[in-house]
Structure 1
Amino acid sequence: MNVLSIDIGGSAVKGAPVDTRTGKLLAERYRIETPDKVSPQRLGEIIAEIAKHFRWRGRIGAGFPGVAQGPMIRTSANLHKKFIDCDLVEVIEKATKCRVRVINDADAAGVAEMRFGAGRGEKGAVLLLTLGTGIGSALFWRGVLQPNTELGHLPIRGKSAEKFVAASARKQRDLSWKEWGTQLGNYVRVLEKLLWPELIIVGGGVSDKHHKFFKYMKTRARLVPAEFFNDAGIVGAALAGTGKI
């Protein structure tokens, strides 16, 4: 089944059709910048524009950076607060006239990596972290997703961890790769004490630069970059769009 996948981020919305049998993108991603925090209605319009770009009439899967329970969004740390308790499926279906499924964006990335990528065949505890505007997290046990593990909001000095160790925080705080990698490693070791993962997968836009900071993280678990790099969320949202996740 081919599904139009939508990756909703803090600075842009991206979309591409995906072959869910192989995880391959069937066209180049189409990206629309969102410099301001868009409302749910505006997001629906943006996704409709992406669907129109691909002349899409089939299923749509969307990854959202917040807790997603069925069609409902429960948290929105980095996007408009009107998304909280919003029926995002209804919003997108009304705008596109297509059948829609939504999933937490880090869960989507994790599903892709477990199905096709770095977590393929892993039977123990696997933790995936997506590093971008914030920190997304997904946890798997014996290949089964434990949904909506929002570990990026664990408190550090009274604020969410992502304010200090997300990829965006490195630039905002003007940290070197060594400084940031060391602080990120300290945060990840806290997660290791809580969850005891055997494998940690790092995704998000910064994952293709993993050679610059992995050496400073000093984790107990095996640490690997996402094989899909920043496309993991797109692939996983497409899998969610099939209705089988």
Structure 2
Amino acid sequence: MATRTRSFGIDIGGSGMKAAPVDVSDGSLAADRLRIDTPQPATPKAMAKVVRKLVAHHDWDGPVGVCMPSVVTNGVVRSAANIDPSWLDVDADALFTQAVGHPVSVVNDADAAGVAEMRWGSGRGRSGVVICLTFGTGIGSGLFVDGVLVPNTELGHLELDGPDIEKRAAASARDREGLSWEEWGDRVDRYLTHVVMLFSPELIILGGGASKKPERWVHRLDPGCEVAIAEMANNAGIAGAALLAPEPGALRSARE
């Protein structure tokens, strides 16, 4: 079987759903990405319609990878912290496969972003423990051991200075509480120091929207391991999801 050169990725977020074909040789987008607002409420039926539109817009005829802000095991959604609760226990693989008419694999969004960084970005060629963290509405995490993903780690929900550290150290907390970049950076440093204590990583990769302005806050960080800024930027989720899409010709057994 010939090695595929392109795949298709969809990145589902709380406010927007983005998609594009991806050149899997380097992670670059093979066409302009399309963004459609995430429907409210973000129910499975409503989001399946948007997924169909995103695939149709690009006239894509093949397997699709999707990432979303949920714990996902074997294609089934197991958490709904930032999406509609009606997603719990939904077989997202089957739902989206039916919607687009091609095999679909669904994974956690931070895992997908981490996969992209490990393949093409700041984690390329790195061994040992590497943790990719995305700072946005919440804190997503991708944990890798010698390049192998340990899925669904959800390190944004560690309890530190109260429940769910993401409520204090996510990028949204800076806006919500009116924190300066330095004040917020100090919170992130405390969080990262805790993560280092627990996992002893060789490298922490910082992604998400806040990584666009590293000069404002990264100088406040000294967690005890190497820190790098994500290189894949806003395309990480799309690229990682595309990389994790089923291989062409993959058959999918229906779940009841």
Report the TM range for the smaller structure's normalisation. Answer: over 0.9
Q: 3-state SS of the aligned residue for 2:20? A: strand
Alignment of 1:78-227 (within 5 A): 78-227=82-231
Q: Work out whether residues 6 and 237 of structure 1, in 8 Å CA contact, stay in contact via their aligned partners in 2.
A: yes
Q: 3-state SS of the aligned residue for 1:120? A: coil
Q: Work out whether residues 38 and 47 of structure 2, in 8 Å CA contact, stay in contact via their aligned partners in 1.
A: no
Deviation of 1:243 after TM superposition, in Å, equals 4.6
Q: Work out whether residues 134 and 168 of structure 1, in 8 Å CA contact, stay in contact via their aligned partners in 2.
A: yes
Give 1:44's aligned residue.
Answer: 48
Q: Which ranges in structure 2 are unaligned for 5 or more consecutive residues?
A: 249-256
Q: Which ranges in structure 1 are unaligned for 5 or more consecutive residues?
A: none
Matched residues in 1 for 2:137 and 2:199: separation? 24
CA separation of 1:117 and 1:75: change in aligned 2, threshold 3 A: same
Give 1:33's aligned residue.
Answer: 37
Equivalent AA in structure 1 for residue 202 of structure 2: E
CA separation of 1:132 and 1:220: change in aligned 2, threshold 3 A: same
CA separation of 1:35 and 1:215: change in aligned 2, threshold 3 A: farther
Deviation of 1:206 after TM superposition, in Å, equals 1.7
Equivalent AA in structure 1 for residue 78 of structure 2: R
Matched residues in 2 for 1:11 and 1:171: separation? 16
Query: What percent of counterpart residues are identical?
Result: 45
Are positions 1:7 and 2:11 aligned together?
Answer: yes
Are positions 1:66 and 2:73 aligned together?
Answer: no
Deviation of 1:157 after TM superposition, in Å, equals 4.4
Q: 3-state SS of the aligned residue for 1:139? A: strand
Equivalent AA in structure 1 for residue 218 of structure 2: F
Are positions 1:77 and 2:88 aligned together?
Answer: no
Matched residues in 2 for 1:62 and 1:132: separation? 19
Match of 1:237 among 237, 241, 246: 241
Residues 76-123 of structure 1 deviation map (CA, whole Å, 9 limit, x = unaligned): 101101111110011111211121011111111111111111001111
Q: Give the total of aligned pairs.
A: 244
Deviation of 1:159 after TM superposition, in Å, equals 2.5
Equivalent AA in structure 2 for residue 222 of structure 1: E
Deviation of 1:124 after TM superposition, in Å, equals 1.3
Residues 20-67 of structure 1 deviation map (CA, whole Å, 9 limit, x = unaligned): 222110111111112634101111001111111111221110011111
Give 2:253's aligned residue.
Answer: none
Q: Work out whether residues 139 and 156 of structure 2, in 8 Å CA contact, stay in contact via their aligned partners in 1.
A: yes
Equivalent AA in structure 1 for residue 99 of structure 2: A
Instruction: Give the structure with higher Rg (CA).
Output: 2
Alpha-carbon RMSD across the aligned residues, in angstroms, is 1.4
Matched residues in 2 for 1:51 and 1:57: separation? 8
Equivalent AA in structure 2 for residue 130 of structure 1: T
Q: Work out whether residues 103 and 246 of structure 2, in 8 Å CA contact, stay in contact via their aligned partners in 1.
A: no
Q: Work out whether residues 207 and 230 of structure 1, in 8 Å CA contact, stay in contact via their aligned partners in 2.
A: no
Stretches of 4+ moved more than 2 A in 1?
A: 34-37, 156-159
Q: Work out whether residues 63 and 247 of structure 2, in 8 Å CA contact, stay in contact via their aligned partners in 1.
A: no
Q: Work out whether residues 39 and 46 of structure 2, in 8 Å CA contact, stay in contact via their aligned partners in 1.
A: no
Q: 3-state SS of the aligned residue for 1:86? A: coil
Deviation of 1:189 after TM superposition, in Å, equals 0.6
Deviation of 1:242 after TM superposition, in Å, equals 3.7
Matched residues in 2 for 1:233 and 1:210: separation? 20
